[in-house]
Structure formats: C-alpha cells, structure tokens
C-alpha cells in the first residue's frame, strides 16, 4: 500500500494512481473507469464496454466462428 495526497486540478480533486497499482488492477492509461463510494471507500474499476453490433461482429474470427446448427423444424411462429 502506498500513501498519496489528494490534490486540486482545475475544479476537481485528483489522486495519482501508482504504476504498480495500475498494473495490479489491470488498468491502462486513457481507459474508461467507473468511480463510486462504497462503505467509506473509493472504488475504481473498468467501465463496462458498450456492446454494439459493430463491436460484437468485430469479435468474429475464422477460429471462433461455428457452422450453422440445426435445431429442428419451427414449432410456433419463428422465422423460417
């Protein structure tokens, strides 16, 4: 554990995060994070990535793409 001083930057208080803490928490510079107070502590964690269709499609590779799966004939009002 390391001690830091809360400083003023423009209109906001800031705390420097040591490189070792960044590495241990798997955080990177310019990464979006969520900051909240919980039980008197400040919690900083990675922000959830917005999963848009473009982001999901970009994750498809020949290695993780599977063949079509036959789940049988329609039993209701599914698209055919």
Please give the mean pLDDT across all residues of the chain. Answer: 92
Domains along the sequence of the chain with CATH = 7-58 (2.10.260.10)
What global pTM score does this model have? 0.56
Give the model confidence (pLDDT) of 20-52 as tens digits.
Answer: 999 999 999 999 999 999 999 999 999 998 889
Terminal alpha carbon distance of the chain: 59
DSSP state of 76: S
Q: 70, 80 in Cβ contact below 8 A?
A: no
Backbone angles phi, psi at 62, to 5 degrees: -60, -30
Placement of tokens 């209701």 in the chain: 76
- Greatest Cα pair distance in the chain: 66
Q: Percentage of the chain with pLDDT > 70?
A: 99
- Ramachandran angles phi, psi of 37, nearest 5°: -100, 135
């Amino acid at each position: 554990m390391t001690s830091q001083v809360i400083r003023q930057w423009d209109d906001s208080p800031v705390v420097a995060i040591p490189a070792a803490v960044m590495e241990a928490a798997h955080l990177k510079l310019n990464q979006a994070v969520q900051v909240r107070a919980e039980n008197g502590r400040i919690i900083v964690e990675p922000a959830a990535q917005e999963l848009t269709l473009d982001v999901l499609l970009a994750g498809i590779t020949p290695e993780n793409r599977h063949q079509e799966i036959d789940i049988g004939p329609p039993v209701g009002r599914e698209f055919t």
